[in-house]
A = this chain, B = another copy of it.
Amino acid sequence: MGNGEDQHPPAASAPTLDAALLALITQCHNAILPGERLTLAIGAAHVGYIAPALATALGSFVTIERHTATIDPAEAHRLNPIATSLAAQFGYRTRGEDFDVRHAPDSPVLTQLDRGALPAFGVIGQGVHLNGYVRRADGIHLWIARRSATKKLDPGKLDNIVGGGVSAGMTPFETLLKEAAEEAAMPATLAARATETARIAYDMERPEGLRRDVLYCYDLELPDDFTPQAADGEVEAFILMPAAALPAIMTAGDAVKFNVNLVLIDFLLRHGVIDDLTGALRRALGVS
């Protein structure tokens, strides 16, 4: 098709659609931990990973022993102001939005850290993603957002209808309701019908640093007459897409935000839009 082209032997071929879907997942699992980093702990709780230079800069705030930099739990409240003071030196920018610091998603909150400092400290960041779908005679459709051109990360990329990071003191579900109202003008009575369907975690090296993300995935069946409205400038437009078209769109290039691919693949698997005969996709996602 088109001019000046031909085919070449399968040995050198690009991945097929199935293999390309798997590659979208595995590319989010590209971090080797701890790698060249020290483990960061608050007392006995492992909470992150830091570069040796950052460990040095933390000075007496941490005790370094056996590749672990440990913060005294009584001093943990100082983590956030110290991280803020080191931002320029270590090339990150604080956002004025704190996230809770935990050992694992369901563990107790040990302190807070500015969102912009999470990658440098290798601290888990929790986010919510909503699959807003419509059942139609011609198949299941998903509302997809085009991210605003003014977003710092991934401007213009395709995204879930609603998503956002879980700020300190918020639960994922509270975050979902808040973002649904702010980003898509979705009434709380509607958004509250969303059901949690999966948690997807990955450790990924990104331009902004180490992303240790945990994505809380929700499904919400939307009425045929609901149209999301871009409410807060985070989204430029919403588009209703046939779910069956998403695998080709996701694998043809980098149109979809990197981690939204994982959320969508999980959705497509659960709704039978794609199959997974070998179980490779579910294993890679870490979902059952």
Q: Which residue numbers of A lie inside 8 Å of B, CB to CB?
A: 1-10, 13-17, 20, 95, 97, 115-116, 118-119, 125-127, 129, 144-160, 162-165, 179, 183, 208, 211, 213, 233-237, 239-242, 244-245, 248-249, 251-257, 259-260
Checking B10, B213, B256 against A3 with a beta-carbon cut-off of 8 angstroms, the contacting residue is: B213
Known A-B contacts A7-B233, A242-B242; the reply to A2 vs B255 at CB < 8 A is no
- Distance between Cα atoms of A95 and B152 in the complex (Å): 45
Q: Report B-chain residues with C-beta under 8 Å of the C-beta of A16.
A: 149, 236
- Distance between Cα atoms of A255 and B271 in the complex (Å): 24
Which 6 pairs of residues, A with B, have the shortest CB-CB distance?
A: A14-B155, A252-B255, A253-B255, A1-B163, A253-B254, A3-B125
Copies per complex?
A: 2
By secondary structure, the A interface counts as mixed
Q: Report B-chain residues with C-beta under 8 Å of the C-beta of A5.
A: 151-154, 165
CB distance from A115 to the nearest CB of B (A): 6
Q: Are B152 and A211 in contact (CB under 8 A)?
A: no
Q: Are A183 and B1 in contact (CB under 8 A)?
A: yes
Q: Report B-chain residues with C-beta under 8 Å of the C-beta of A251.
A: 146, 156
Q: Report B-chain residues with C-beta under 8 Å of the C-beta of A10.
A: 150
Q: Are B164 and A1 in contact (CB under 8 A)?
A: yes
Checking B7, B17, B240, B259 against A2 with a beta-carbon cut-off of 8 angstroms, the contacting residue is: B259
Q: Are A156 and B7 in contact (CB under 8 A)?
A: no
16 more contacts with CB within 8 A, not counting A14-B156, A158-B252, are A2-B159, A2-B165, A3-B126, A4-B165, A6-B115, A7-B151, A9-B150, A17-B146, A20-B149, A20-B156, A146-B251, A146-B252, A240-B245, A252-B254, A252-B255, A253-B256
